[in-house]
Amino acid sequence: MVDIFLESLTYPFVRYALIVGVLIALCSALLGVILVLKRFSYIGDGLSHVAFGAMAVAAVVGLTDQMLLTLPVTIVCAILLLWTGQNAKIKGDAAIAMISVGALAFGYLLMSIFPTSSNVSGDVCSSLFGSTKILTLTKGEVYLSIILSVVVVILFIALYNKFFAVTFDESFAKAVGTKTNLLNFVIATIIAVIIVLAMNLVGSLLVSALVIFPALSAMRIFKSFRSVTVCSAVISVICALLGIVLSIMFDTPVGSTIVITDIAAFLVCTIIGKIKG
Amino acid sequence: MDQLVCKNLKLGYENITLTEDLSFVVEKGDYLCIVGENGAGKSTLMRTILRLQKPLSGTIEYNDDLTASKIGYLPQQTVVQKDFPASVYEVVLSGCQNTLGFGLFYSKAAHKRASDNMERLGISDLAKWCYRDLSGGQQQRVLLARALCATEKMLLLDEPVSGLDPKVTSEMYQLIEKLNDEGITVIMISHDIACSVKYAKHVLHIGNEFFFGTVEDYRHSSAGKKYLEEGHHHHG
């Protein structure tokens, strides 16, 4: 089976998948820590459904590069959701449920009415759960993913201290003059970018897993924000690599394989955390 | 010197006025206690002083170079913080965030400031502890150290002793008094009227009745008499 994997490495698309997979896993884990701590996990879930709807529209319209549409739509929704979440706390989660379910239904309807291929259910299934086989990306998508991931990582490192401040205590941060609204806006935008990127890898229904699991795993073990962030990134990258490799070796769907390795890591971390006390 | 001058403040939200005609002065080194019924607008007043929200009308004048970033704030704890994985040092250091500016990382001076303030509040040995593993009193000390990193001039404390047991409460009050003796102005919201009167220099009572003046005058005012009496009953 190892031969299968080594042989597959000679194909460029496998190498692309590994590079993009690792980068996406890294970004989603970094932001995942903030998302989980800010109690925004559900926003990630909602946004992925919105991205699915946008992707359906892009497919029907016949855009060759679907990210051109999904990215801006998801970013706008992320900002809107964060906004409503802040201003009307009770309505926040209902608004998200509404938008996400609506987008899901709308997307599926569009894909069924205007089928772009003979295999509609296959298309729907792969956008919801990721490619059934190894992920195939065009060169353009690969470059775009790399550029966006690098930007996300740089932004995260640059704003690390401020992200911590605004996540731990927004009132205090605002009171001492930190521009919390701007930071929240940046966080929302980055989340949207990550979700659109990660959707290629694991499909829109499984995106949240990629964002949430590594952060939760790291939190079982570590007790400072910095170590949780680093650990989350490491776990996520390892799981993504392992997941992709396993999916090639056993010919399983790449998205769910990655998620399963993330869940396994979570269980291991929970046990370690229990033992450590 | 008057550090803070509030004139004819009207506080509240769009359609609801919580309190009107609020005028008071806070001097340098003052210890002001804000008391009043629930919903009287105590927290709103504090948020307004912190410039987190705008008054409906009236003005607040800040003197003594009290820019927004120079006021130390001890907010009430949020749900988010209860299980937050952050070390004590990380939390205290975040009090220096107003020195970050466009810089990305904390300066040596900021690190020293954080260490000094932890020393000052006797929590140096907790530096590597996880915030969520601390007791309520320790957590308040950490947040107070963080507030001190942001200011040397004025502390705004929003119910700093709520949820603490009597022993820890009195330790907290002594700590605040010590900081006040060192020259830091203290403005505190409190439900614990008896202790407030014991430690504070001035009292601001808002709500059904208005009072602003020294603690001594408050004891003899109608608002003070009624409120102190109730407080007394509450505490048995």
Domain count, chain B: 2
Least trusted range by pLDDT, from B73-87, B142-156, B160-174, B220-234: B220-234
| pLDDT at residue B235, as a whole number | 46
Q: Please state, in angstroms and rounded to a whole number, the distance separating the CA atoms of residues A137 and B228.
A: 73
B213 and B98 share a domain? no
ipTM of the complex: 0.88
- Closest in A158, A174, A226 to B104, CB measured: A158
pLDDT band of residue B146 (cuts 50, 70, 90) is very high
In angstroms, rounded to a whole number, what is the distance separating the alpha carbons of residues A21 and A243? Answer: 10
Residue with more model confidence, B224 or A49: A49
The domain ranges of chain A are 2-271
DSSP conformational letter for A219:
H
Model confidence at A86, pLDDT cuts 50, 70, 90, reads: low
Question: Which residue of chain B is at minimal alpha-carbon distance from A229?
Answer: B85
Instruction: Clarify whether residues B8 and B59 are in a common domain.
Output: yes
CATH number of A2-271: 1.10.3470.10
B139 pLDDT band, cuts 50/70/90, is very high
Tokens representing B14? 């769009």
**Cβ separation of B129 and A160 shorter than 8 Å?**
no
What's the confidence (pLDDT) of residue B92? 95
Residue A80 above 70 pLDDT? yes
Measured CA to CA, the distance from residue B22 to residue B110 in angstroms comes to: 37
Give the domain-ending residue among B136, B152, B168: B152
Same domain, B142 and B106: yes
Residue A57 CA to its chain's centroid (Å): 20
Assess B104–A contact: CB distance below 8 Å, yes or no: yes
- Residue B31 lies in domain: 1-66+158-236
Q: What is the mean pLDDT of residues A99-104?
A: 88
Query: What number is the average pLDDT over the span B116-132?
Result: 92
Mutate to test the interface with B, among A34, A163, A169, A180 (most CBs of B within 10 A): A169
Which residues from A are below 8 Å from B65, CB to CB? none
pLDDT of residue A211 exceeding 50, the answer is yes
Alpha carbons B117 and B142: distance in angstroms, whole number: 9
Give residue B13's Cα distance to chain centre. Answer: 22
Is pLDDT above 70 for B217? Answer: yes
Cβ <8 Å between A175 and B128 = no
Do B81 and A169 contact (CB within 8 A), yes or no?
yes
Q: Do A158 and B130 touch (CB under 8 A)?
A: no
Of A162, A168, A172, the CB nearest to B84: A168
Residue B236 pLDDT level (bands cut at 50, 70, 90): very low
Torsion angle, CA of B129/A175/A29/A131, rounded to 10 degrees?
160
- Read off the CATH number of the domain in which B59 is found: 3.40.50.300
What pTM was computed for the model?
A: 0.88
> Going by C-beta distance under 8 Å and a sequence separation of 6 or more, which residues neighbour residue B173?
B161, B195, B198, B199
Same domain for B94 and B48: no
Q: Is residue B166 one of the residues assigned to a domain?
A: yes
* Domain edge (last residue) among B129, B152, B175: B152
- Point out the residue among B97, B130, B147 whose CB comes nearest to the CB of A173: B97
Tell whether A175 is within 8 A of chain B (Cβ). yes
What average pLDDT does range A66-83 have in this prediction?
A: 86
Last residue of a domain, one of B152, B167, B197: B152
pLDDT confidence bin for B233, thresholds 50/70/90:
low
In this prediction, residue A90 carries a pLDDT of 46
Residue A85 is predicted with a pLDDT of 59
Q: Which residues of A touch B81 (CB under 8 A)?
A: 168-169
Is the residue at B76 inside a domain? no
SS3 readout for chain B: CEEEEEEEEEEECCCCEEEEEEEEEEECCCEEEEEECCCCCHHHHHHHHCCCCCCCEEEEEECCCCCHHHEEEECCCCHHHHCCCCEHHHHHHHHHHHHCCCCCCCCHHHHHHHHHHHHHCCCHHHCCCEHHHCCHHHHHHHHHHHHHHHCCCEEEEECCCCCCCHHHHHHHHHHHHHHHHCCCEEEEECCCHHHHHHHCCEEEEECCCCEEEEHHHHHHCHHHHHHHHHHHHHCC
pLDDT digits (tens, 9 = 90+) for A213-242: 999 999 999 999 999 999 999 999 999 999
